[in-house]
Amino acid sequence: MEKQPTSRNCFLCGRENPIGLKMNWYNDRDNQQIIGEVTVPEQFNGFPGVVHGGIVAAILDETAGRVVLINNPDNLMVTMKLEVVYRQPTPTNTPLKAIGRVLRETPRRAVAEAELVKPDGIITATCKAVVLKPSEEMQSNWLPEKKYWRVIE
C-alpha cells in the first residue's frame, strides 16, 4: 500500500506537532479505501482507559476527509458535515485502524465514511462526512505549508 503525505502542524498527522498523534494513512487502491494507524496515548482520555470522544471524532473526520486523496494527494477538502456514531468505548494505548471510503464524489464535494477498529476487528465508532473543496482564500493560505505536505518514510 502507498503511504499518504503528512504535514507539519496538523494535530493528527503533523510531524512537528509536539502534542499531535502523528498518524499515517495508506492508500488501499484494490479496495478503494484508506487505512490509518494510531495508538492514542492515555493523555487523550475522557475516562481512564477510554479515548475522549472528541479525539475519536477528529480521527474519523480526518480519515473521511483524506479518502479523497487516494487518487490525487493534492485534492485537499474540508469538512462541512460530520455525523459520528459511538458504538462502544475506544481504548487508549491500543493499536487502532481508521478505515475510510468514498461513497459519492464530484470534483468539488464528496460524501465519505470512516470507522475506527480495534485489533480484534470490533468497530468502536463510525462516521459519515460531507467534505468540500475549500474557498480560494483558504487554498491560498495553504500554499506556504505545501512544502511540508509530503510522504515521510
Regarding the domain with residue range 2-145, which homologous superfamily does it belong to in the CATH classification? Hotdog Thioesterase (3.10.129.10)
- All three cell numbers of 84, joined, read 459520528
Q: pLDDT (tens digit, 9 = 90+) per residue, 50-68? A: 999 999 999 999 999 999 9
Q: pLDDT (tens digit, 9 = 90+) per residue, 98-126? A: 999 999 999 999 999 999 999 999 999 99
Q: Could you write out the DSSP letters of every residue in 16-68?
A: T-TTS---EEEEEGGGTEEEEEEE--GGGEEETTEE-HHHHHHHHHHHHHHGG
Single pTM value for the model: 0.95
Q: Are 33 and 98 in contact (CB under 8 A)?
A: no
**Of 65, 74, 13, 77, nearest in space to 34 by CA:** 65
Q: pLDDT (tens digit, 9 = 90+) per residue, 1-31? A: 899 999 999 999 999 999 999 999 999 999 9
**Of 92, 109, 14, 4, nearest in space to 55 by CA:** 92
pLDDT of residue 152: 85
pLDDT band for position 73 (50/70/90)? confident
Residue 38 has pLDDT above 90, yes or no: yes
